[in-house]
């Protein structure tokens, strides 16, 4: 007896006990091989049930046990049964990925879904005509796309108004924030600082009473300075890369407010409020653990390490995140997490384009997401009072399940964080103001993307020198000229061709 994909999925999820409390898609049984759309109709049936997917390499590939592998394990069997597709997964290599993708596309023997890591390669291949335009396929077979992705996320993958790929969505919304040792705050009878001025006074008191440099940072690696000082730069309105001024983007690094930010950090540094080794530090955890620092901009995963290490030492230390300090003009915030630069595409020469879109839609169904996120009920998790309960041991027993995501959903991301103990610190960061970087939503812009890392590194190098007094801030205008001469003006002009055209 032949079942439709939706009927099989319903039977499988019923067998697994994925109850309505875990979320249901409310689909209707359609024709053989079809799925119901949110509007009540069915997408077109797909006759070809053979499907191949080539995804980016992931360390989870090395975590299978026994005879299990990416195409033969308890979860992939249920995915195949529930979708009705004879799907075969294959990983891209760890190294020389761009070269491998070029060879695959040139061979004519292509997968039906291919992951393209890197914005540059994705847009280059789209321009070359190697990728299938997806808009009609999305309309016909992918009704679930709009339930998971925002329009801005979808638009970020468009070239000349056409969708050629779907970003492998990043669920993480924020990465780091201002972490403080609350035990020191309580010991000294201090109030949580809300503004930049209050933070300054807060650190002055800690330095005087504890004889430490309160603020530590790790700025030795390229890109590290920007992250380590982003919430403080945000208080001046320059915590992202660009700012909109009169309808056009400008680099924040060249603004008078950035000079003011640097002057304030120099003052803090000169007064011993900033760790004098911050420019060579590779890590902040040890100083926060040992109590030789009281404030740092710390990633949520590192915050858990700090908390656990303090507990292991049987010390009295306590930590938590505070809101990013507010500047004199009411500015504040941390950078919003950037979009993924990996894309799922359907090659132009793919044999089963409709099936590829239909299977992707199946992966976006809530019940499928629950299966991949948690595994099998009463084996990998249980449901108590309508809530999924999964121990760290159960979660870690099936780490390879992430291989089957085409995107990271909020549910899956939060479940993994909860299993590993990260969720409480991550959730502390979520209410804080997040500043969007507009260029993250841009297509590949050659003058920008090919020069960005060099330009950012030049800014960081000189920012360190300005703060540490190795370059006089009176040379800020000269620095601006040097930056533009290195390609800064060409980069922002090219980016504005995109930015102003979309308004």
Strand duo 242-245 + 248-251: pairing:
antiparallel
Gap between the Cα atoms of 321 and 300, Å rounded = 9
CA atoms within 13 A on the CB side of 147: 17
**Helix H or strand E encompassing 228:** helix 224-234
Geometric angle at alpha carbon 305, from 304 and 309, rounded to 5°: 120
Beta bridge partners of 395: none
The CA-atom distances, in angstroms, between 180 and each of 175, 198, 264, 304, 320 are 16, 14, 20, 13, 6
The pLDDT of residue 503 is 65
For position 131, what pLDDT does the model report? 97
Eight-state DSSP code of residue 484: I
Distance of CA 355 to the CA centre of its chain: 28
pLDDT score, position 17: 37
Asked whether 34 and 5 are in contact (CB, 8 A), the reply is: yes
Handedness of CA 452, 456, 459, 461 (dihedral sign): negative
Domains and CATH numbers, the chain: 5-172+340-408 (3.40.190.10), 176-335+430-501 (3.40.190.10)
Q: Report CA torsion sign: 422, 424, 425, 429.
A: positive
Which string of DSSP letters, residue by residue, matches 196-209? HHHHHHHHHHHHHH
Strand-pair partners of 69: 72
Round to whole Å and give the CA distance between 218 and 426. 20
Tell me the C-alpha distance between 429 and 174, whole Å.
Answer: 7
Pairing, β 86-91 against β 50-55:
parallel
Give residue 282's pLDDT. 93
Quote the CA–CA distance of 456 and 462 in Å, as a whole number.
10
Q: Please spell the DSSP secondary structure of 23-51, one letter per residue.
A: --------STT--B-TTS-BPPP----EE
Of 72, 40, 84, which is closest to residue 362 (Cα–Cα)? 84
For residue 338, the model assigns a pLDDT of 73
- β partners of residue 456: none
CA 107 to CA 318: how far, in whole Å?
A: 58
Q: What is the pLDDT along the chain (503 residues), one digit of tens a residue?
A: 333 333 333 333 333 333 333 333 333 323 334 444 333 334 668 889 999 999 999 999 999 999 999 999 999 999 999 999 999 999 999 999 999 999 999 998 999 999 999 999 999 999 999 999 999 999 999 999 998 888 888 998 999 999 999 998 888 999 999 999 999 999 999 999 999 999 999 999 999 999 999 999 999 999 999 999 999 999 999 999 999 999 999 999 999 999 999 999 999 999 999 999 999 999 999 999 999 999 999 999 999 999 999 999 877 889 999 999 999 899 999 999 878 889 999 999 999 999 999 999 999 999 999 999 999 999 999 999 988 889 889 998 999 998 998 888 888 899 889 888 999 999 999 999 999 999 999 989 999 999 999 999 999 999 999 999 999 999 999 999 999 999 999 999 999 999 999 76
Rounded CA-CA distance 490/496 in Å is: 10
d(CA 493, CA 502): 15
What pLDDT is stored for residue 126 in this prediction?
Answer: 96
Q: Which residues contact 15 (CB under 8 A, 6 or more apart)?
A: none
Instruction: State the Cα–Cα distance between residues 164 and 57, nearest whole angstrom.
Output: 22
Q: At what angle do helices 452-467 and 476-483 cross, to 10 degrees?
A: 170
Apex CA 131: angle with CA 400 and CA 41, to 5°? 75
DSSP category for residue 176 = E
Integer-rounded Cα Rg, in Å, for the chain is 25
Contact present, 143 and 329 (Cβ < 8 Å): no
Beta strands 176-181 and 319-322, pairing class: antiparallel
Nearest to 79 by CA among 413, 399, 363: 363
Please report, for residues 226, 233, 239, 260, 459, the alpha-carbon distance to residue 474 in angstroms, rounded to integers and kept in the order given: 22, 19, 22, 12, 16
SS3 readout for 154-170:
HHCCEECCEECEEECCC
Closest CA to 165 of 181, 145, 144: 145
Task: Identify the H or E element spanning 367.
Answer: helix 366-374
């Amino acid at each position: 007896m032949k079942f439709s994909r939706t009927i099989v999925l319903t039977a499988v999820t019923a067998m697994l006990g994925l109850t309505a409390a875990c979320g249901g898609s409310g689909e209707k049984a359609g024709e053989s091989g079809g799925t119901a759309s949110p509007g009540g109709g069915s997408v077109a049936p797909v006759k070809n049930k053979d499907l191949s997917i080539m995804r980016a390499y992931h360390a989870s590939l090395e975590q299978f046990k026994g005879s299990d592998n990416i195409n033969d394990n308890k979860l992939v069997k249920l995915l195949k049964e529930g979708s009705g597709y004879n799907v075969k997964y294959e990983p891209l290599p760890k190294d020389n990925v761009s070269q491998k993708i070029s060879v695959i596309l040139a061979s004519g023997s292509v997968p039906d879904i291919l992951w393209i890591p890197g914005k540059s390669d994705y847009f280059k291949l789209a321009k070359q005509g190697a990728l299938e335009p997806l808009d009609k396929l999305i309309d016909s077979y992918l009704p679930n796309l709009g339930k998971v992705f925002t329009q801005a996320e979808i638009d970020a993958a468009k070239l000349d108004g056409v969708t050629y790929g779907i970003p492998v969505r990043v669920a993480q919304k924020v990465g780091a924030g201002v972490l403080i040792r609350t035990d020191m705050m309580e010991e000294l009878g201090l109030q949580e600082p809300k503004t930049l001025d209050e933070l300054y006074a807060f650190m002055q008191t800690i330095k005087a009473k504890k004889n430490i440099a309160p603020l530590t940072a790790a700025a030795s690696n390229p890109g590290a300075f920007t992250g380590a000082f982003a919430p403080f730069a945000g208080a001046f309105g320059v915590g992202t890369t660009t700012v909109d001024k009169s309808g056009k983007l400008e680099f924040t690094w060249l603004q008078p407010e950035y000079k003011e930010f640097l002057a304030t950090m120099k003052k803090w540094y000169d007064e011993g409020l900033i760790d004098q080794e911050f420019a060579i530090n590779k890590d902040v955890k040890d100083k926060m653990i040992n109590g030789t620092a009281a404030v740092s901009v710390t990633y949520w995963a590192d915050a858990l390490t700090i908390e656990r290490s303090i507990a292991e030492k049987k010390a009295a230390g306590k930590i938590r995140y505070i809101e990013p300090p507010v500047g004199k003009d009411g500015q504040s915030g941390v950078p919003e997490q950037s979009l993924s630069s990996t894309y799922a595409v359907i090659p132009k020469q793919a044999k089963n384009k409709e099936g590829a879109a239909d299977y992707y839609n199946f992966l976006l169904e809530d019940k499928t997401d629950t299966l991949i996120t948690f595994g099998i009920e009463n084996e990998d998790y249980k449901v108590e009072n309508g809530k999924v309960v999964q121990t760290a041991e159960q979660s870690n027993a099936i780490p390879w399940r992430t291989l089957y995501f085409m995107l990271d959903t909020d549910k899956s991301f939060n479940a993994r964080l909860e299993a590993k103990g990260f969720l409480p610190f991550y959730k502390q960061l979520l209410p804080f103001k997040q500043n969007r970087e507009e260029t993250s939503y841009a297509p590949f812009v050659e003058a920008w993307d090919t020069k960005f890392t060099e330009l950012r590194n030049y800014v960081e190098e000189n920012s360190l020198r300005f703060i540490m007094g190795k370059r006089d801030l009176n040379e800020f205008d000269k620095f601006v000229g040097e930056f533009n001469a290195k390609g800064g003006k060409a980069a922002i002009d090219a980016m504005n061709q995109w930015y102003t055209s979309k308004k």
